[in-house]
Structure 1
């Protein structure tokens, strides 16, 4: 570890000054992604800074971790964290070890290794409870909830989030951590089609991330707030959310602006398409922005769900006055190809939304009256019953 700042670590400078000096020395190492050297510098820090405490090391590692860029190469720091965990274990620095294990779990989730994350969480939670480390425990419950959600185990995802919420009430919880809890609450409520309540949680999440100056997650929460406003069949909160967007965009302290956010632009275009009652325009938005929307599974699935229910509602509105109707007529009215309408009507017939059959001779939809069918069936059953009794 060669640096002009190195003598500061063994000088009579304050602990804070030494911490700043050490962090400055590691910035070039992090930029070059030389994690082996970074690990060696942390392990050998006591050789230069003899009076450093474990709590100070934990604080320094947290700050160093925040300097590491979250991208596709984040998986490269797994060996780095493994080496630090081994060192902390050998030197009986249990609190440091647990903090490092929490960071490794975060990386597992970020690089989509959800099963590895859940396995680590199971063991780490037990140790965190022993040391009564509530902050990391809340964080792990949030990670656990996210991991279960990603592997489609929704009941366990909700259960983990409930544990995080319960614990957050009984102790101090940072704005960012509370905002993450609110964000997931909003997502799970959206999945349950409770959009009104979801909006409230998303607003809290936006505010929490804004206070914490976490622009990236604040953007995500705001996207979901706009999404839930679009999804709910109620405009009462619409003006409130627009005003909230305005206040965020003009906040001088944080200077958050979402005008350049591609996903927010897409959501605004979706709102326009719905207002114009143009399902074709809606579908074009989804197809033209497929790569962007595929990056957010939650948002994409809800936009597709909304498209499906709007398409069904429009088809039912068109066919309700007819007993026989050509598919081409429905397609022309909606602005779609006949093939698209045929596929959708087939699904609607199968799930019982439409009571009828498709005549392939002239590509028409023949609708039948459920009440009349039921009456005929009852009459047949009644006659059969009389025959049997006689």
Structure 2
């Protein structure tokens, strides 16, 4: 049996004074081995757990944190359930701060779910399940996350735990958005807002609701409303020094670009709020704003290449920039082909500095979308542009007259039917 140290303030001081982190960790483990269960000893052990958790995080010892959670189960039976929930969630949050531990976090949550079911700790189980659903969504296991959330939503609504319900509804909205089911994403967000209106919502949670609202409005091309929501989210996260503040600011800049106000981007970045978040994310948006202002596809592509992680790998930014790129390309193509009645596709591709097949595909799409009237002569490798046929005003006027006569005849028929009857 391993030796132990008494769970006292002196033992904790000994751990603090240790020169080597591994020595501090060893002392704290020995404090946890103390069999005493007096109120003072339990309080000292709680402090030891907090200190040990922090030391293990600094050493990136995720597996040891996993083992610690299993090792503490007998201790959890000696302390109140609320304190148990706080310690468990604290350790899971600490593991999340160690890079590359997504699979371990999922394993940890599944093990704790089984334990909480066996111990009938409903309050803790529901929160661990919500955390597991979020992790499954991040790992793109959408079906399992949705199954887990569906059961959890019904259970929490029955218990009327509003704070947890806000979290779950918000998570459900994000999940449906990831699955491209916008009506359900909006319905879940509305449910989250309704639950949030009935209680005090912490600023971080309110910021998350505003951020999701902005994302959904941007998806519907309502960029002005989206901007206001992103601004609210930015204010909440900025006050808390939350890393999500930079994403809110990034999406604010995206909205400005999408409504053709790219000139405002530099001003926002150089403002007092923007300066403290200077970095690759804001540099990426500035490069896109510059390309948009100059209507330059080349600058646009350079920005996408240089800031791939910030633009291409952010699904929200990527989706909107794809549509912006298409729009910019159409404008450039239309400007180039406008003076011609017949022009070689290779010449247009050379002017716009894009591959011929890429330009050909885009021109055919523009013709199908009726952006202009023309045809592709692929044999000759040319684009033939037709003059817009002028619609003779007599035809719609004639149709309207016939339509009105029809209404008069129908009315007379109804009246005659009543007279005969």
TM-score range, shorter chain: 0.7 to 0.9
Partner of 2:61: 32
Partner of 1:282: 300
Partner of 1:232: 259
Aligned residue-pair number: 367
CA distance in 2: counterparts of 1:292 and 1:243, whole angstroms: 19
CA distance in 2: counterparts of 1:199 and 1:78, whole angstroms: 34
Q: Output the aligned Cα RMSD.
A: 3.1
Partner of 1:342: 360
Partner of 2:198: 170
CA distance in 1: counterparts of 2:253 and 2:225, whole angstroms: 13
Asked if 1:3 is matched to 2:32, the reply is no
- Superposition pairs of residues 55-134 of structure 1, within 5 angstroms: 55-69=82-96, 71-134=99-162
Partner of 1:259: 278
CA distance in 1: counterparts of 2:380 and 2:333, whole angstroms: 19
Report the structure number with the largest CA radius of gyration: 2
TM-score, normalisation: structure 2 = 0.78
Deviation at 1:298, TM superposition (A): 1.2
CA distance in 2: counterparts of 1:263 and 1:310, whole angstroms: 22
Deviation at 1:114, TM superposition (A): 1.5
Partner of 2:229: 201
CA distance in 2: counterparts of 1:15 and 1:213, whole angstroms: 33
CA distance in 1: counterparts of 2:164 and 2:135, whole angstroms: 15
Partner of 1:45: 75
CA distance in 1: counterparts of 2:330 and 2:94, whole angstroms: 49
Structure 1 pair 46/242, CA: closer, same or farther in 2 (3 Å)? Answer: closer
CA distance in 1: counterparts of 2:176 and 2:46, whole angstroms: 37
* Selected match of 2:246 from 202, 212, 219: 219
Partner of 1:247: 273
Contact 1:5 1:25 in 2 (8 A): no
Higher relative contact order (CA 8 A, sep 6+): 1
Contact 1:279 1:311 in 2 (8 A): yes
- Paired residue secondary structure (1:3): helix
Which shows bigger deviation, 20-29 or 86-95?
20-29
Stretches of structure 1 lacking an aligned partner (at least 5 in a row): 250-256, 383-390
CA distance in 1: counterparts of 2:297 and 2:266, whole angstroms: 24
Deviation at 1:79, TM superposition (A): 2.8
CA distance in 1: counterparts of 2:35 and 2:89, whole angstroms: 21
- Paired residue secondary structure (1:22): helix
Structure 1 pair 306/248, CA: closer, same or farther in 2 (3 Å)? Answer: closer
CA distance in 2: counterparts of 1:96 and 1:160, whole angstroms: 23
Asked if 1:183 is matched to 2:208, the reply is no
Partner of 1:309: 327
Partner of 2:416: none
CA distance in 1: counterparts of 2:104 and 2:73, whole angstroms: 18
Structure 1 pair 69/81, CA: closer, same or farther in 2 (3 Å)? Answer: closer
Partner of 1:146: 174
Which shows bigger deviation, 276-285 or 232-241?
232-241
Contact 1:121 1:140 in 2 (8 A): yes
Cα shift readout 1:323-361 (whole Å, capped 9, x = no counterpart): 333334433443434433222111111222121002235
